[in-house]
């Protein structure tokens, strides 16, 4: 396995495919998954001549199940450690869900230095803030996220079956084309990771206010969001993010789910490629 060790001792697994001379596309996965969630995109961009890189977030997938550091600051620092190790320049960073928060924090804090980032993409991403607060009254109530924590602590295996079988891919909608392999692959990725990382990660993706991160990003940034996203409501995320980005573009998809990068990969891949090449 290809890993690096961070300054605080976490072993981070990563994939690095393609010519080292090609432009890098770096993928950041969502909670509670792994870099495998980007299989369709990595194979697609590899076939187009790009260098594709993805890592498993600490506590997820094949990275070490450390007890601490499950927050956006560490997520971004770990991503930067991979980028520095590979000396990636002029990269396009694409993040899904929690990975979108990781991209926003990484680009704002590290990525615009030394020409390391060219563009960014936020897919069904959690910024600017999911939680309902006095300053964010449209957000989701804490009870929603407490319910996630309770379900995870009580029976993580069942919870990780129910989420993909239901709202994540919109398989709970009438007439949905339910794909059993997709459900099982979500479960497989989730159960590879550690319960502590997944439990703490709920706080990271729901309570981290990334307003300042979005304001600090100057590179071209594409925001993609499904209009039937039951996990990260579009009104709380994409519609707010685009107002904060200095150089942003928004594209939404009627009827598509939170997991559209998997179940609508052909559509998403074409739009991602067009942005990368623009």
Instruction: Report residue 113's pLDDT band, with 50, 70 and 90 as the boundaries.
Output: confident
What average pLDDT does the chain have?
A: 97
Tokens of 209: 């206010």
Number of domains in the chain: 1
pLDDT > 80? residue 114: no
DSSP result, 186-231: HHHHHHHS-HHHHHHHHHHHHH---HHHHHH--S-EEEEEETT-SS
pLDDT > 90? residue 115: no
State pLDDT tens for residues 147-196: 999 999 999 999 999 999 999 999 999 999 999 999 999 999 999 999 99
Structural domain containing residue 194: 3-277
**Dihedrals φ, ψ of 26, to 5°?**
-110, 125
Residues 6+ apart with CB under 8 A from 148: 159, 202
Of 35, 63, 64, 97, catalytic: 97
State the pairing for strand pair 3-5/11-17: antiparallel
Q: Cβ distance 51 to 19 under 8 Å?
A: yes
Q: For position 200, what pLDDT does the model report? A: 98
Tokens of 171: 């398989």
Of 28, 93, 96, 258, catalytic: 258
Of 36, 56, 229, 236, catalytic: 229
258 is catalytic: yes
What CATH number does residue 189 fall under? 3.40.50.1820
Q: Cβ distance 59 to 70 under 8 Å?
A: yes
For the chain, the 3-state helix, strand and coil shares in percent, each to the nearest 5, are 45, 20, 35
135 is catalytic: no
241 is catalytic: no
Report angle CA 277, 97, 124 to the nearest 5 degrees. Answer: 60
Q: Cβ distance 248 to 122 under 8 Å?
A: no
d(CA 116, CA 65): 28
């Amino acid at each position: 396995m290809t890993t690096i060790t961070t300054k605080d001792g976490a072993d981070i697994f990563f994939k690095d495919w393609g010519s080292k001379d090609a432009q890098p596309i770096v993928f950041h996965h969502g909670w509670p998954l792994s870099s495998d969630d980007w299989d369709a995109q990595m194979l697609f961009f590899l076939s187009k001549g790009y260098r594709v890189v993805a890592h498993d977030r600490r506590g997820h997938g094949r990275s070490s199940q450390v007890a601490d550091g499950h927050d956006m600051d560490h997520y971004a620092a770990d991503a930067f450690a991979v980028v520095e190790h590979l000396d990636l320049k002029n990269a396009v960073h694409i993040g899904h869900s929690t990975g979108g928060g990781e991209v926003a924090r990484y680009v704002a804090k590290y990525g615009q230095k030394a020409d390391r980032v060219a563009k960014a993409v936020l897919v069904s991403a959690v910024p600017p803030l999911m939680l309902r607060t006095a300053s964010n009254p449209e957000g989701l109530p804490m009870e929603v996220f407490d319910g996630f924590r309770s379900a995870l602590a009580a029976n993580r295996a069942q919870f990780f079956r129910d989420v993909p079988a239901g709202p994540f891919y919109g398989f709970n909608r009438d007439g949905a084309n339910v794909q059993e392999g997709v459900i099982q692959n979500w479960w497989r990725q989730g159960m590879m990771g550690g319960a502590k990382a997944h439990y703490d990660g709920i706080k990271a993706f729901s309570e981290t206010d990334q307003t300042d991160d979005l304001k600090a990003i100057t590179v071209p940034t594409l925001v993609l969001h499904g209009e039937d996203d039951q996990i990260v409501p579009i009104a709380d995320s994409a519609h707010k993010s685009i107002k904060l980005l200095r150089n942003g573009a928004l594209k939404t998809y009627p009827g598509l789910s939170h997991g559209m990068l998997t179940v609508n990969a052909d559509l998403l891949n074409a739009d991602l490629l067009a942005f990368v090449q623009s």
